[in-house]
Amino acid sequence: MIRLIAALFALIAAVPALAAERVLVLPFESTSVAPELANTATELMIIFLRDRGLQVTSPPEKPADAEAAARAAGATHVVEGRMTRIGTKALVFAEMRPVGAAQAVWVGRLTASRPEDLESVIARMARGIDTGESVQEAVDIHTVTETEEQRLRRRKANHYFGVSLGGFVPVQEEGIASGLGLFWLYDVRNMMFELELQGSFSDDYDRTSVGISAYYPFSEGDITPYIGGGLQYSGTSRNATNAELAAAAHDDYWDDRVEGQGLGARLGLGILLGRTSTVAIRADIGYAIAFYKVGDDTPHGLAFSVGLGF
């Protein structure tokens, strides 16, 4: 038991081992950034590392031989950084490596949108150097940068609103139920998403549906074939069969039609003509199957349409 407790104390003592080490902080280099800001970054790094209990030394100028300077100062690790201007922002980079090692054991990069952000950026880097956390993890309510406060950018999706003409060919019935529909097609380059309303009607068979689908386009050209599928909520009504009429003859209320509604699935393929313009024509054919029954049968069949989107 005593040995276990001693081992636990040894493990706990080893966690902040870096705090007992001496760190050499080299002056930050700058590219198209005012030297005063680079000097400020160096001073802030020294301050924040010392605040975290590290022993820090820093030369007034970057030595020609950083390794020799670190050994002369009794340092075990070297911290160096640089700043690069991008428009009105500054990209701040820092890394720490053991003396004599070519590979860094910690690397961090953050963007400072304004000079005031530099304090938060360096504070997070100092915390990461001390704890081993990444700069994304080493954040608290006091060190969120202006860049991180901004809303995330999103790519704009091109979209079409359109009208389609087509029909539905039920497997259980003869003939075609003709119809029309409305669709909203959103093009996000490597995928296309659709919301569609469709109605198909005949003397013997009626079907209406609303669906959400996703498609994979096979090209980025003006003429784009695609394949995909999705879910539909549909309602189906048809003439009852003789067997269904006979089974319902004893009911108090019955008619010569059966109907049902519910979820279903759709798989299809098509082609989009004029994808690079503001007006497009699409031709689509697919297979739809319901997850419910109408009478004794599960509705399913072939759906096709031609639409104009703008």
Expressed in angstroms, the distance from the first to the final Cα of the chain is 78
pLDDT digits (tens, 9 = 90+) for 171-222: 988 899 999 999 999 999 999 999 999 999 999 999 999 999 999 999 999 9
Going by pLDDT thresholds of 50, 70 and 90, the confidence category of residue 54 is: very high
Q: What domains are there in the chain, each with its CATH number? A: 18-149 (3.40.50.10070), 158-309 (2.40.160.20)
pLDDT digits (tens, 9 = 90+) for 126-183: 999 999 999 999 999 999 999 999 888 888 999 999 999 999 999 988 899 999 999 9
Going by pLDDT thresholds of 50, 70 and 90, the confidence category of residue 246 is: low
- Contact (Cβ atoms closer than 8 angstroms) between residue 105 and residue 97: yes
Question: According to the model, what pLDDT value does residue 32 have?
Answer: 87
Is residue 156 classed exposed, middle or buried when 0-12, 13-18 and 19+ CB atoms within 10 A define those classes?
Answer: exposed
Phi, psi of 117 (to 5 degrees): -70, -20
Q: What is the pTM of this model?
A: 0.70
Question: According to the model, what pLDDT value does residue 152 have?
Answer: 87
Q: Are strands 192-201 and 177-187 parallel, antiparallel or unpaired?
A: antiparallel
Beta bridge partners of 78: 24, 97
